[in-house]
Amino acid sequence: MTLNYQFPKNFWWGSAASATQTEGSNNGVKGKDIWDHWYATEPNRFFENVGPDTTSDFYNRYQEDIKNMKSIGHNTFRMSISWARLIPGGVGKVNDDAVIFYNNVINELIANDIEPFVNLFHFDMPLELQDQGGWENRDVVEAYVNYANEAFRLFGDRVKTWFTFNEPIVPVEGGYLYDFHYPNVVDARKAIQVGYHTMIAHAKAVQAYHQTQDGKIGIVLNLTPSYPRSQNPADLKASHICDLFFNRSFLDPAVKGEYPADLISLLEEYGHLPHTEEGDKELLKENTVDLLGVNYYQPRRVQAKAHLPNPYGPFMPDWFFDNYEMPGRKMNPYRGWEIYEKGIYDIMINLKENYGNIESFISENGMGVQNEERFLKDGRIEDDYRIEFIKEHLKWLHKSITEGCNVKGYHLWTFMDNWSWSNAYKNRYGFFSVNLATQERTAKKSASWFADVSKQNGFND
């Protein structure tokens, strides 16, 4: 049977999750990370005061969850390792309990014909290292490289697809610009240094991996196309600067091995260049990624500033653009995000035309909805809105592939409802719903739809 939307052979169908959002801090031996600390000190910053201690108990239920993944056709799954679990305190002795747990998870995935993709860092800095300045501190870069080497040594015989960071700009934005992650600093100079050290850590991990291992290593970036309000030169300049800050600040060094000249000159003009060390430039140039994970949720729409920025306020990317609300845009009202499916195509065309058509895949895409129990019918959540969301994004992804983009797969965020940082369980994203009282997992309608898609390696509209 020929399908309208047939995907390439061996396409990666799966989902993504992170350690902090699924394992539960109270399970097993684990050091504290910044989320444990922030929740202990300011529980009011978390939706309904729900913190990372319980989450969806993947630590004890991974066998059931992996069996469910197989049942809906997953051939790949992206997980992360908790640095604070593998090496409590961030430096020193490896935790044997963690090694057993992660070995069990990896082996269980492989036994179910699901290839494990492993990410090393997903917003979860060990608290002791954050107390030393976190990514502000160059010493933490070395601690991260040692951690990465331990992970490669322990699991690299079976894991052949690695990622250094997930969405490294989010700790920069949340922790150092816009006050939505710990340490809640508002300081662009520190933010830029944090971003820079993250990329140095990334390049050093890529270098270490290629010296000892034989798989592929990449990075996962949340790319948000910057669309100008109009073709007016002032709007075009605003969208260009927005793109420099929020996309190219990580994309260019990861894939091209260098920062955009425009970004360097802009930061220099405003006295915000980061501190660098000798050899950094060569390090970045020589250690580019093998593979790029792309997280896509929403576009950015911008326009020229209507007013000059407050000269006494903190320096911000927003000094150069205003957000723009496009009339008639389609919205996910629960998350407050625009739904713009074509963005996924625009990203891939950009990678093809400007980034050597690097091997890439959609590593996250998804729709969070509040109070999904409203859609419960005969024991199943009828999430047709999620099916529609995935389908319309897949159509544009398929179009990019037919036009020669080097796209290898599609992963949904996420497999089962999980804890979302400060939003806790406000919005549900999973193929499987999780009853927080009983931890029972139940497949939603989207799970069976996705099972058919992965089985057929495509779909009819």
Q: Domain ranges in the chain? A: 5-459
Strands 407-413 and 12-16: parallel
pLDDT tens digit sequence for 26-43:
999 999 999 999 999 999
Query: Does the pLDDT value for residue 14 go beyond 70?
Result: yes
The chain-wide mean pLDDT, for the chain, equals 97
272 pLDDT higher than 80: yes
Q: What is the mean pLDDT of residues 407-419?
A: 97
Write down the pLDDT at residue 101. Answer: 98
Superfamily of domain 5-459: Glycosidases (3.20.20.80)
What is the Cα Rg of the chain in Å?
21
pLDDT at 335: 83
Q: Count the Cβ atoms, other than its own, within 10 Å of residue 4.
A: 10
**Least reliable range by pLDDT among 1-15, 138-152, 239-253, 272-286:** 1-15
Strands (E), 56-119: 76-80, 115-119
DSSP annotation string for 379-407: TEE--HHHHHHHHHHHHHHHHHHHTT--E
The residue-averaged pLDDT of 284-307 equals 98
Tokens coding 228:
């100008």
- pLDDT, tens digit, 9 for 90 and up, residues 80-118: 999 999 999 999 999 999 999 999 999 999 999 999 999
Contact 201, 255 (CB under 8 A): no
pLDDT value of position 2: 76
174/76 Cα distance (integer angstroms):
29
| Across 53-57, 144-148, 357-361, least confident range | 53-57
Burial (CB count within 10 angstroms: exposed 0-12, middle 13-18, buried 19+), residue 30? buried
117 residue type, one letter: F
Q: Is 176's pLDDT higher than 70?
A: yes
3-class SS shares of the chain: helix, strand, coil, % to 5: 45, 20, 40
Would the pTM of this model clear 0.95, i.e. be above it? yes
Tokens of 390: 């995935």
- pLDDT for res 425: 93
3-state secondary structure of 39: helix
pLDDT digits (tens, 9 = 90+) for 367-407: 999 999 999 999 999 999 999 999 999 999 999 999 999 99
pLDDT of res. 1: 65
**Looking at the annotation, which residues are catalytic?**
364
